[in-house]
Structure formats: C-alpha cells, structure tokens
Chains A and B, each alone.
Chain A
Amino acid sequence: MIWLIGALVVMAGLAWGFRFAGQAATGNAPKFRDMPYGVAYGYVLGAAVLLWLIWAYMQGRSDDLAIANKFFFLRIAIEGFIIFAIAAWLFRILGRTVGTAWSKKMFRSMPLTAAFGILTILIYAILAIFAGVFAPYGQEQIIPGVAANIVPGGDPALGGNPDFPLGTDQIGRDIMSRLIYGAQNTVGIAFATTLLAFLLGGSFGFLAATLGGWLDQLLSRIVDVLMAIPSLIFALLLMTIASVWAPQLGIPLTVFMVVIIAVIDSTRVYRLARAVGQNIVVMDYIEAAKLRGEGLGYLVFKEILPNATAPLLAEFGLRFCFVFLTIAALSFLGVGIQPPLADWGTMVRDLGGFVNYAQFAPLAATAPLLAAGAIALLTVAVNFVVDWMLQKSSGLKE
C-alpha cells in the first residue's frame, strides 16, 4: 500500500517533468503548451502500467518455478492478447484483399476490435456446427481406463496426459471435447432463444407501432409489468415452476428454459422494435403509403421492416449476449442446461474449485477458466462487432 502511494507521488513529479521537458524540446508547441497537468499525469501513469506489464511478463518467463507460477496467468493473458491482435490484423488484411468490392470496402473502414470480433464469431460458428468432427471424444463419453481429474497441459511430469491436452473432468470425460460440444449446446441454445425472442418481440413491437391505439396500450402495459421484475430473478422463479412441470409433461427442462428466457427477453425486443417502428411510422413516406390505401402487410414488410434492419441487427447481437449470459448464469446456478449435455456454465460450476490450486499447479486452475473464458470471449467478440455497427450507423447520421 505504502509502495503504491509512493509510486503515485513519484509519478506526480515525473508528470510535471515530462510536460516541462516536452515544452522545452518542442519549443513550446501547442500540444505541450496547452496540456493540462492531468493529461501529463495520465501519460506517465500509462507508461508506468506498460512498464509493469513488461516486467510481470518477464517474471512469468522466469526459471524460478515459484515466481513463474505466480505470473503464469498474466503471461498467458498477455501472450493471448498479442496473438489475438495479430490474428485480427491478419484477418483484416485478408478481408481487404479477398472478396467482393462491398466486403473490401467494409473491411477497409473496420477497426481492429471489430475484425477480432468477426474472426472469433466465425471460429465459434465453425466449431459449433462441426463439433462432432473436431471433438476427439463424445461429450458424454467416460473413457474407460482413464483417470479422472487429469491436469491440462499434456505434460506427464506435471500430471498431464498427451491424449487429453486439456485434461479430464471429475468423472473422467475429456474436457476439450466437452468444451467443443459446449459451443454447440450453449451457443446453439442461446441462438435459438434469441431468435424466438425476436420473433415474439419484433412482431408485436411493429404491430404496436403500426396500429397504435388500444393494442399498443395493452401490449406496452403488459411489457411494463414484465420488465418491472428483474429478468434473472423472474427466470429463476419460472424455472422453479417449470422444473415441477417438466417431468410431468415429459418435456425436457431445457425447452422450458428456452421459452421462458425468450418470453422475458422479448419484452426488451418489443420496446426497441416499437421505438424503431414508431420512428419510421412518422416518416412522410409511410403517410404517403397509408394515403395511397396500402394494407397492413405492405406497410410492415415493404416500408417499415427494410428500414429497421440495421438497428435490429445490432440489437440482435446485444440480445444474444444477454441471453447467452443469462443461460450461462442459470447453468452455473444449476437450473439451466441439464447434464449430461456439455455446457460451459455447468462446467465452470463443476470445476470451479480448481482455481484454488493455482498457486502450486497453475495448469490445474485453467480448466474452469477456459470454460468461463469461452463464454466471455464470444460475448466480447459480439459486443465489439455491435459497437462498431452502432458507431457506424450513428456516424452516418451526423
């Protein structure tokens, strides 16, 4: 603590020196002359953090195992970050040279974060669709003669097994296969749920915006009430009830989950679709179509929907993230996707305890982090793409 405060004070001095040096070196150029002290401090702080990261990374590559273990995760994070950055950069170059004129133009104005997002989403999609091809074992397969809890890394000296590069779980299933199948199950179910939510919320939202009147009032009040209950809490309540119904009706609980989350989430879609729809409905071209005598179908499908695709697409990304995280949270809490289906949220819950071994065997702690990280990586990727899309569309308006 004292060290930290000391360092901050030293940096305060450095910041002043930095600005002064800058003013002297550039002959009082406007950049340094008009620089507020806080900005100079920010530069120094940024430099200090960067230096610390480099130092920590070198520690992570230290020969002393105790020190190396301590900085192992930081090292992996930094390496991962650099690899992803390079991959995204290469992917963007590829996008700029290959493809149609339209896609080339799109890639030219794309920030690196969005390129990373698109690349990641592509990889997930491929993994999810061809999970059976990529996974060395089945998701429910307990491989005979193989120990449970094999440490990831595949190094026999550390308790690993080269046949199971990511180790095995508490009952001896291959973690890598389960991770790959997890893409299929978790992402697939989340995608289906989001689609259903959009179908519901979207159609009601546009209907309310186009027709207005009592239908709009009724739907909006219902949505107000449903949105007054926090969504995760509501989902948990309904899942409790569903868990009683499911065995009686012989329908898998997962189906109930999809419907419940879709309905809860469709309220948010409804609000957006209605707002977007209302913005379009007040346009003069809609008035012109109405005065021409066009029917409801023509209005919605020809005039409104084509103009709503951009905001809806962005919302789809955001909703997908939200649904995906809700399902992961439910699974993590033990009421979501049911075993033996491989699912990332459940895997985190089952393997979470291994985090506590990180100090001595960093590899053992990676299994739960990989599953949780797989969830985070996809949502981050989707969010990056959505962020870019939103920025692009708002930029067009200005």
Chain B
Amino acid sequence: MGNVLTIILQRLALGLLTLLIVSIVIFVAVNLLPGDFAQNILGQGATEEAVASIRRDLGLDQPMLSRYFGWLAGVLQGDFGSSFAQMNFASFSGTTSGATTVAEQIAPRFANTMFLAMVTAIIAVPVAITLGVLAALYRNTVFDRVANITTLSSISSPEFFLAYILILFLAVLNPILPSLSNIYEGMAFSERLEKSLLPALTLTLVVTAHMMRMTRAAIINLLASPYIEMARLKGLSPMRVIVKHALPNALAPIINVIALNLAYLITGVVVVEVVFVYPGIGQLFVDSVKIRDIPVVQACCLIFAAAYILLNLTADIMSILSNPRLRHPK
C-alpha cells in the first residue's frame, strides 16, 4: 500500500508543479504586451488619475519577478486583483460599483458554470457509458454502425451548429425550452434547471459522443483479452462475464474517459455559453478577451487550467488505485 501512496503523492506534487509553471506561463504571456500596460488598456483618452491608479495598483514600477510573486500570493488568498473594466467605469463615473475585484466578479459566474457542467455530466455520463458498452457488445451490427456515424457527426460538428439545431427544434419549432439562459441569483432550482437545459443538452451531445466512442474502444480492447475468452470458456453467463470479469478491469479506462471528457467540457462551455447568453465564466472570459480586461482574462485562464489539471490528475490517480498490480504488490 505504501507503494501506491508514494506514486499518488508523486503525481500530486507533479500536478502542483505543473500548475505553478502554468501560472508563470500565463503571467509572462500577459506581460508580453507592448508599451505601457495601463496606458494601453485604457486607451489614449484615459485620465491621468486612472492610469496612475492602475500603475499603483499593479505596481508596474516594480520588476516582473516581484510582481509575479505578488500576484501569486494574491491568487493563493483568493485575490485576483481588480478588473480594468470595472475600475475604468468607476474612475469615469466617480462612484464605486458593487463588484470591482476580479474575485467578486468571477465567483457567481463560476458557480453557474459548475452548475451547467454538473447537469451535463449527470445526463451524459450514464447515457454515454451505457451506449458505449452496448456498442462494444453488439459491435459491427446495425446499431453499432448507426451509433458510429451519429457520434462521429456529432463530434465533427462545431458546438454552435449543434446549439442552433437544438434551438431550432426544441425552442423555435416546438417551444419546449427557452433559448436564452437568463439566470440570476435567487432563482428557483426548477426554473434554473429549465433555463440551463438547452445549453446542457448541447454540451451533452458533444461530450456523450466522445465518451461513448472512447468507452466502446476501451471495452472492445478489454473483451479481446484472453481472460475474457477464458471466462466464456468456463461456461459463465454473458452477464457474469461482463459484470465480474470485464467491469473490474474496465473501471480504470472508463474513469479515465469520464475525467478526460469533463476536462473537455471546460473548453466546450465557452462557445455554448456565448450562444445561449448563459452567465458563466466562459462568457465572462470571452467578453474580457474582447475588451482586453487583462486581470480577468488571467484569472479565468488560471481557473480553467487548474480545473483541467485537476481532472487529469483525478483520472491518473483513479487508474492507479484501480490497478490490482499496484494495489497488491508482490
């Protein structure tokens, strides 16, 4: 058991290290911006005070290394700095609006995105795995071929195409679901679910297709192993072969598939949120990119990367835990 623990600790440390390096990459990338940072962002028409306040706020007079550590220390305490857009707005209007820090801006939207991802995962994971196992069991049948063509088409389509198709059929031609996801705080759960359903379904289509194909491949690979043939030649029922002999070994690949696809969701969420005007972190990210609100972009990037690394790490650790060779060393 000590063996497994060391490996897991190693992976954890590696994940942390990766995250640290990623944070450096993001920080350096942003600092590649030419000229005076503050002036550039605010444009030529900005007031002297606004520029000076940002300079002070970001400590632009200090060297890059100390700025990085300052930023990192802030991030570790949940402080991602202040949003340019909000500060700009505040400096023009002379009032202090509600949410000036990046953290305050991101927090509710992050929760919304997590909600969307959760709804998607709850629909997609069971459907995809069931269909994937079925396709593997009945491979090369009509069902498998239809599933293959459908999933391949679904993977190949851009998310916005699927989104518009769903809007067309489920919101416009048959008004079952709303096509805009105007979610606000304090909304009832059922209403919130209804408004999130169409974006969730769009994501489900893409993720399910990926997950199903990967599950199918993993199961087919598994069913070809000699110990499955052996189980069949022992006269076990097909059900028992699957449940007792295939599933324990399929766990690792399937968990891997799920984690990888949840990681994929992170990217998919951006476009889908924009189509449905869903107030999540993806939409905020795209908006901030357009107005070059650097602190927000930086923060979103780091959050996306952290989630991505975390999911991959989970997959890694789960597959270590489910490997009998590592669990029961010689």
Partner-B contacts on A (CB < 8 A)? 36, 39, 42, 46, 70, 73, 113, 224-226, 228-234, 236-241, 243-245, 248, 321, 325, 328-329, 332-335, 345, 348, 352, 355-356, 358-359, 365, 368-369, 372-373, 375-376, 379-380, 382-384, 387
Chain B, interface size: which category? 35 or more
Smallest CB–CB gap between A1 and chain B, Å?
10
The reply to whether A225 and B18 contact each other, CB–CB distance below 8 Å, is: yes
Q: Which residues of B contact A383 (CB under 8 A)?
A: 152, 155-156
Seed contacts A240-B292, A345-B158, A368-B164; 4 additional CB < 8 Å A-B pairs: A236-B270, A333-B289, A352-B164, A365-B168
Q: Please name the residue on chain A nearest to B152 by beta carbon.
A: A383
Q: Which residues of B contact A239 (CB under 8 A)?
A: 289
Q: Which of B19-27, B50-58, B64-72 contacts A (4 or more CB under 8 A)?
A: B19-27
Any A CB within 8 A of the CB of B231: no
- Pick from A39, A239, A243, A333 the residue with the most CB of B within 10 Å: A333
The reply to whether A372 and B25 contact each other, CB–CB distance below 8 Å, is: no
Q: Which residues of B contact A332 (CB under 8 A)?
A: 158, 160, 271, 274
The reply to whether B305 and A228 contact each other, CB–CB distance below 8 Å, is: yes
Q: Which of B30-38, B95-103, B112-120, B251-259 contacts A (4 or more CB under 8 A)?
A: B30-38
The reply to whether A356 and B179 contact each other, CB–CB distance below 8 Å, is: yes
Docked Cα-Cα span, A113 to B150, in Å, equals 12
The reply to whether B271 and A333 contact each other, CB–CB distance below 8 Å, is: yes
**23 sampled A-B residue pairs with Cβ under 8 A:** A46-B142, A46-B143, A70-B173, A73-B173, A225-B21, A228-B309, A229-B301, A233-B267, A233-B300, A236-B297, A240-B294, A244-B34, A332-B271, A333-B274, A333-B286, A334-B286, A335-B290, A358-B168, A372-B157, A376-B153, A380-B152, A384-B152, A387-B148
The reply to whether A329 and B271 contact each other, CB–CB distance below 8 Å, is: yes
Any A CB within 8 A of the CB of B266: yes
Q: Which residues of B contact A365 (CB under 8 A)?
A: 168, 172
Chain A contact residues: over half helix, strand or loop, or mixed? helix
Q: A231-B267, A329-B271, A333-B274 are in contact. Are A376 and B161 (CB under 8 A)?
A: yes
Q: Which residues of A contact B153 (CB under 8 A)?
A: 376, 380
Docked Cα-Cα span, A373 to B157, in Å, equals 8
Q: Which residues of B contact A70 (CB under 8 A)?
A: 173-174
**Which of these, A39, A241, A359, contacts B29 with CB under 8 Å?**
A241
Smallest CB–CB gap between B191 and chain A, Å?
18
Which residues of chain B (240-283) have a CB below 8 Å from chain A?
A: 263, 266-267, 270-271, 274-275
Which residues of chain B (291-308) have a CB below 8 Å from chain A?
A: 292, 294, 297, 300-301, 304-305, 308
Docked Cα-Cα span, A197 to B60, in Å, equals 36
Docked Cα-Cα span, A248 to B35, in Å, equals 10
Q: A332-B160, A333-B270, A365-B168 are in contact. Are A230 and B305 (CB under 8 A)?
A: yes
Q: Please name the residue on chain B nearest to A386 by beta carbon.
A: B152
Smallest CB–CB gap between B186 and chain A, Å?
28
Q: A241-B33, A358-B173, A368-B164 are in contact. Are A334 and B270 (CB under 8 A)?
A: no
Docked Cα-Cα span, A239 to B270, in Å, equals 15
Q: Please name the residue on chain B nearest to A374 by beta carbon.
A: B161
Q: Which residues of A contact B304 (CB under 8 A)?
A: 229-230, 233
The reply to whether B152 and A355 contact each other, CB–CB distance below 8 Å, is: no
Smallest CB–CB gap between A188 and chain B, Å?
18
Q: Which residues of A contact B157 (CB under 8 A)?
A: 372, 375-376, 379-380
The reply to whether A230 and B33 contact each other, CB–CB distance below 8 Å, is: no
